Structure 1
């Protein structure tokens, strides 16, 4: 058995851990991680628990993935300012199936097979009276309101917290107890916002069975605004479903990570050895402008989530889009242009609309590349607009001669925003 605590620690994947877990992990144990089906897709933050499942399985332990269809009816109040919107049974069932398939595909890529469970299978059989009598009796109200997830909602929200969400921690604790009794599961792992729920399960196991159980949390990955990536969080998320976040946008997320953060991310989001990572970091520091770490991580994770073929296409497209040679875009073949059109923001425009020409600002607004002509004009005056890779400084009339290969018009805002119009 390798020292998995050391492995996870140097990667920055441990935030909290119950004392004594190191000795327990010297022999194979069973662990589990839960997934919340409040959306039909996992997101960037969901990759971390999947990484943990793989790390433990590869190191000789048994990993269990639990989809919380039953707890999804309630919604975890952790890190939430307001109460969740309740989802219907049909939507939760659909989300559960979708997430289950995503988890299986992500594990299959690394040749990992684990057992997937659904807590609805056992919780649906428990009556409310039995639950509060057999489980609720082990916890005082004082203990429950001492949890950060509850305390924050009580202190920061005028509506407080509903009894429904207040009970969430007990139900998750029961999951741990059930898996401990049925699967001999001794360890629960989750994000750092789950520490209170995990310790509730540990306490329940101790009080009801007298057994020792353990918990580990990993740090949450947050957006630039400090908010965590989550299915119900405000703002934009990076989804694993290509219909919700395009593979190109997914790839660019990793490419745009700062040099400061990329050294942390390459450890967290890959299974590269410590020696290989240190070598990559050393090379990156010598030539940071080449963005070696960003390119390596973007390629690795895009291949994992979207497959080798899509990853290769996105890499090729990125190289074309960020090529600063003005004429390079004009020389692209139809196959490459079609690939670019499919993977970046785009729209169709009829030849008739270009018969008399269309002014650039009108096109920028019509395409949706800019929400208004006002904002488009502001960008134009700031010398931030390019047409077919050529810098444009005034509101020109775009005609048929501006169409590449009689089919495409390429728009660019700044260094990183692109839009392709197909003319038919």
Structure 2
């Protein structure tokens, strides 16, 4: 049974103040009234990899704010829909994943989101903690369905005309390429069924998600009304962009992941430390729990002072994702490595590293190969361009020759430190 105590702070107002409302299926007054009492709301995550990336932080923060406002979040990991692939925002079909890979991804993602939310013990709802989150996998209810059941119970309630009119479908049907497969076309049926099922099983009345999920959310509201006479609502977050038009979540090394094995805490920290001045205030509002008065004060900094705001942004987000210890290590390592703050040990755990044997180093590998091995360049061609552009150092020595090799003499203290550009480091420890 859900608590009837009115939340002290309205979730909609919190999200609006932070610039995190893109669209809503109700008026401002209507959604505020709905959220004036505790509700159960859900957000879905697509398990196409065993880690979420920073682009997923907006919906995660949305769920966290939801819980802080006294509502119950349902975290839905798409074990079933992940086998289909959401066409929203995509120009071509996704690769199909097998069930074993999907299950591995589901478990990894669940662990990452668990850092932000308070989950119910044993994933069982209780009156003692009405806002405790639940982790759900839609394979549990979609997997057992037969094709005939889906057609009869779901397909009969969905308008093909409406589905074709959805922007995500129109883009695929009118753009270049092979169009959209029936498999992908069916995705919105399954997501719509999720919303209807969650209402029926958990009295979930609100779905939140990225702006690209608008069409899927609207279809879920319609199906819930037709199947269960449910009054459902949807709220979307803006898609995060960069002020220079570049793709958010990309660094020089590629995607910025929440998994420390994919993106080290140091590199994760550096991603946020290096955002454009114009993005600092917006990202502080989106990706931290700092009070908005403090966010506005940090965002108003000018000149060199904005760098302190960037440091605060990087520290706060790294602390949320990797914990306070890793955030402190990354901040101190970055300060020592790049700001002239001597005394910080670049051999610390916060610097991404790998081992290299005495024999491997004695063979004098090329600096290009080491850059690729370290993930500081995606290919030897990219590594070559880095060197030619003057952006590569071994320790503090700039490398100008693309044929440069690294040997035992480059590891006098038992390691080789590679620098790529101004902010990226990688250490090879001599084994």
**TM class by shorter-chain length?**
0.7 to 0.9
Whole-angstrom distance in 2 between the partners of 1:48 and 1:376 = 33
Whole-angstrom distance in 1 between the partners of 2:379 and 2:48 = 34
Tell me the alpha carbon deviations over residues 219-248 of structure 1, each in whole angstroms, 9 at most, x when there is no partner: 122477654659xxxx93211111111111
Whole-angstrom distance in 2 between the partners of 1:400 and 1:128 = 63
Match of 1:136 in 2: 155
Whole-angstrom distance in 1 between the partners of 2:394 and 2:16 = 48
Correspondence 1:236 to 2:246: no
Contact in 2 for aligned 1:179/1:185 (Cα 8 Å): yes
Match of 2:194 in 1: 175
Tell me the alpha carbon deviations over residues 272-329 of structure 1, each in whole angstroms, 9 at most, x when there is no partner: 11122122223x326435x12211121112122112222222112111210348xx5x
Match of 2:347 in 1: 338
TM-score (norm 2): 0.83
Correspondence 1:288 to 2:305: yes
Contact in 2 for aligned 1:82/1:157 (Cα 8 Å): no
Correspondence 1:252 to 2:270: yes
RMSD: 3.1
Whole-angstrom distance in 2 between the partners of 1:374 and 1:165 = 36
Give the secondary structure class of the aligned counterpart of 1:57.
Answer: helix
**Aligned partner (choices 390, 395, 398) of residue 388 of structure 1:** 395
Match of 2:60 in 1: 50
Tell me the alpha carbon deviations over residues 315-362 of structure 1, each in whole angstroms, 9 at most, x when there is no partner: 12111210348xx5xx77xxx34316x62355525279569xx6xxx7
Whole-angstrom distance in 1 between the partners of 2:193 and 2:172 = 22
**Aligned partner (choices 195, 199, 203) of residue 184 of structure 1:** 203
Correspondence 1:277 to 2:295: yes
Distance of aligned partners of 1:130 and 1:383 in 2 relative to their CA distance in 1, 3 Å threshold: closer
Structure 2: where are the runs of 5+ without partners? 1-6, 120-128
**Aligned partner (choices 19, 26, 34) of residue 12 of structure 1:** 19
Distance of aligned partners of 1:120 and 1:345 in 2 relative to their CA distance in 1, 3 Å threshold: same
Match of 1:322 in 2: 338
The offset of 1:211, in angstroms, is 3.0
Whole-angstrom distance in 2 between the partners of 1:393 and 1:240 = 34
**Aligned partner (choices 406, 415, 424) of residue 417 of structure 1:** 424
Count of aligned residue pairs for this structure pair: 403
Distance of aligned partners of 1:95 and 1:393 in 2 relative to their CA distance in 1, 3 Å threshold: closer
Match of 1:107 in 2: 117
Contact in 2 for aligned 1:49/1:190 (Cα 8 Å): yes
Structure 1: where are the runs of 5+ without partners? none
TM-score (norm 1): 0.85
Match of 1:306 in 2: 322
Whole-angstrom distance in 1 between the partners of 2:378 and 2:48 = 30
The offset of 1:365, in angstroms, is 2.4
Distance of aligned partners of 1:338 and 1:39 in 2 relative to their CA distance in 1, 3 Å threshold: same
Match of 1:365 in 2: 368
Match of 1:195 in 2: 214
Whole-angstrom distance in 1 between the partners of 2:88 and 2:397 = 49
